[in-house]
Amino acid sequence: MFLESGFTSLNKTGEELCGDRVETVIGGDTVTVVLADGLGSGVKANILATLTSKILCTMVASDIGIDECVDTVLQTLPVCRERGVAYSTFSVIHIDKRGEGRLFEFDNPQAVYYGGGKCGGLPRAEHTCSGRSVYVSDLRLKENDIILLMSDGAVHAGIGKLLNFGWRRDEIMTYLDRRIKPGMSARGAACLLAAACNELYVGKPGDDTTVAAVRVRAELPVSVMVGPPVDKSRDDFYVGRFLAGGGKKVVCGGTSSQIVARHLRADILADFEYPDREVPPIGHIKGIDLATEGVLTLRKLIELSRPYLSESDLAPKTFAKKDGASLLADMLFEKATKATFFVGQSINTAHQDLSIGTTMKLKLVEDLAANLKKMGKEVELFYD
């Protein structure tokens, strides 16, 4: 199993810094996610939330007891001069690849559990830590189950605008029951709820609003071959290595497609439709999941990755268009858990008179790999 996480944040209107903070630590077979909400808004709240999330994430990931974690946070937080208190609410998920772990909640809205196509709650036990009540839930998640954490900006959404008393938790769950689609990523689920909150705020959030999600899912490796290898006599060896193992197979580039098709003794069937005029059409090779053009498609793919990575981007995390870049974005950003790139460093004779060199291709692949790592994907690069 693979543990997938993602979040989206909305700043309170007029504030440059968000008073909520999400921190994630991936260590071995476990993932620890903390959503902290600092007292108030702006710089002070951001400092409180940042300290809380950093401390809790580091300590919980190291399997230190929640009592000691809470005590450390309380002793570390600076005291607000105006209110005379050091305060930050938090929700913590610590879970392993079997879907087993714990959820700790202190004064944040209760987390929502999504499983079997329906939202619900989790059994909680009250635990006193340093005089504070922390609620603890044991987690036994199955494939495609999702836990959604939220700051109080989510349940306050719409107050004084579209709703009189905010967005109740049961209403949130009803909304998610209708909108979460099978296979939706953690990032997509978090963005879905945050976008709905923004609509209730009429685009002007009255409070910092953050939604974080953790999803348990099956692993899906994707192998991507980009460009022909230097040693032409070993084409079959390199293609065989690319094709070995399970998962999805993607070929980027016309020469690479020819090499792979020759190895598979298959034809390349060109697709002459242009769903996006900026992206060359895809091809079809029997035994290959996706065949695209090279540099232009990769360049467009990196453009698509930037808003996907943005913590405040509210666009749906789906890629409905059928051009090569969108199809590859859906496969790598939404579906893949690991990406392995087989990068050929041969100079393409078709590009000799153009401003497209091996250096540009390598830079595009490395930028893409860096963005995939930021998305929480495992990434490997092999240069041939």
Please state the three-class secondary structure of the chain as a single string: CEEEEEEEEECCCCCCCCCEEEEEEEECCEEEEEEEEECCCHHHHHHHHHHHHHHHHHHHHCCCCHHHHHHHHHHHCCCCCCCCCCCEEEEEEEEECCCEEEEEEEECCCCEEEECCEEECCCCEEEEECCEEEEEEEEECCCCCEEEEECHHHHCCCECCCECCCCCHHHHHHHHHHHCCCCCCHHHHHHHHHHHHHHHCCCCCCCCEEEEEEEEECCCEEEEEECCCCCHHHHHHHHHHHHCCCCEEEEECHHHHHHHHHHHCCCEEECCCCCCCCCCCCEEECCCCEEECCHHHHHHHHHHHHHHHCCCCCCCCCCCCCCHHHHHHHHHHHHCCEEEEEECCCCCHHHCCCCCCHHHHHHHHHHHHHHHHHCCCEEEEEEC
Residue 155 and residue 28 share a domain: yes
Binning pLDDT at 50, 70 and 90, where does residue 144 land? very high
Residue 329 and residue 195 share a domain: no
Residue 229 and residue 180 share a domain: no
Integer Cα distance of 22 and 380 in angstroms: 26
Range of the domain at 306: 221-383
Binning pLDDT at 50, 70 and 90, where does residue 77 land? confident
Integer Cα distance of 344 and 90 in angstroms: 47
Integer Cα distance of 219 and 372 in angstroms: 15
Q: Determine the pLDDT at residue 346.
A: 77
Residue 237 and residue 212 share a domain: no
Integer Cα distance of 71 and 84 in angstroms: 18
Q: Is the pLDDT of residue 271 over 60?
A: yes
Q: Determine the pLDDT at residue 274.
A: 78
Last residue of a domain, one of 196, 217, 238: 217
Question: Residues 9, 209: contact at Cβ < 8 Å?
Answer: yes
Q: Determine the pLDDT at residue 354.
A: 47
pTM, two decimals, is: 0.86
Tell me how far CA of residue 327 lies from CA of 230, 309, 322, 323, in angstroms.
28, 17, 6, 6
Q: Determine the pLDDT at residue 358.
A: 66
CA angle 340, 346, 349 (to 5 degrees): 130
Q: Determine the pLDDT at residue 351.
A: 54
Q: Determine the pLDDT at residue 350.
A: 56
Residue 171 and residue 239 share a domain: no
The tokens for 16 are: 């440059």
> What's the total number of domains in the chain?
2
Q: Determine the pLDDT at residue 302.
A: 94
Residue 230 and residue 204 share a domain: no
Integer Cα distance of 17 and 119 in angstroms: 31
Strand order in the sheet with 125-129: 20-27, 30-38, 88-96, 100-106, 132-140, 125-129
The tokens for 112 are: 């929502």
Contacts of 24 (CB under 8 A, 6+ apart): 5, 31, 32, 33, 34, 57, 376
Residue type for position 357: G
Residue 286 and residue 266 share a domain: yes
- What CATH number corresponds to the domain at position 120? 3.60.40.10
Q: Is the pLDDT of residue 226 over 80?
A: yes
Residue 258 and residue 212 share a domain: no
Residue 251 and residue 127 share a domain: no
The tokens for 256 are: 């690479």
**What mean pLDDT is predicted for residues 274-290?**
89
Q: Determine the pLDDT at residue 139.
A: 93
Q: Is the pLDDT of residue 71 over 60?
A: yes
pLDDT digits (tens, 9 = 90+) for 329-340: 999 999 999 999
Last residue of a domain, one of 217, 250, 284: 217
Question: Residues 192, 180: contact at Cβ < 8 Å?
Answer: yes
Residue 109 and residue 194 share a domain: yes
Rounded to 5 degrees, what are φ and ψ at 51? -60, -45
Contacts of 73 (CB under 8 A, 6+ apart): 51, 52, 55, 56, 88, 90
pLDDT digits (tens, 9 = 90+) for 190-204: 999 999 999 999 889
Highest mean pLDDT out of 80-94, 239-253, 348-362:
239-253
Question: CA end-to-end span of the chain, whole Å?
Answer: 31
Percent of the chain residues topping a pLDDT of 90: 54
Residue 339 and residue 191 share a domain: no
Reported as half-sphere exposure (CB side, CA atoms, 13 A), residue 178 has a value of: 6
Residue 226 and residue 206 share a domain: no
Q: Determine the pLDDT at residue 217.
A: 92
Binning pLDDT at 50, 70 and 90, where does residue 86 land? low
Last residue of a domain, one of 200, 217, 234: 217
**What mean pLDDT is predicted for residues 290-316?**
90
pLDDT digits (tens, 9 = 90+) for 8-20: 999 999 988 999 9
pLDDT digits (tens, 9 = 90+) for 145-200: 999 999 999 998 877 666 666 788 889 999 999 999 888 899 999 999 999 999 99
**What mean pLDDT is predicted for residues 83-100?**
84
**What mean pLDDT is predicted for residues 100-122?**
92
Q: Is the pLDDT of residue 352 over 60?
A: no
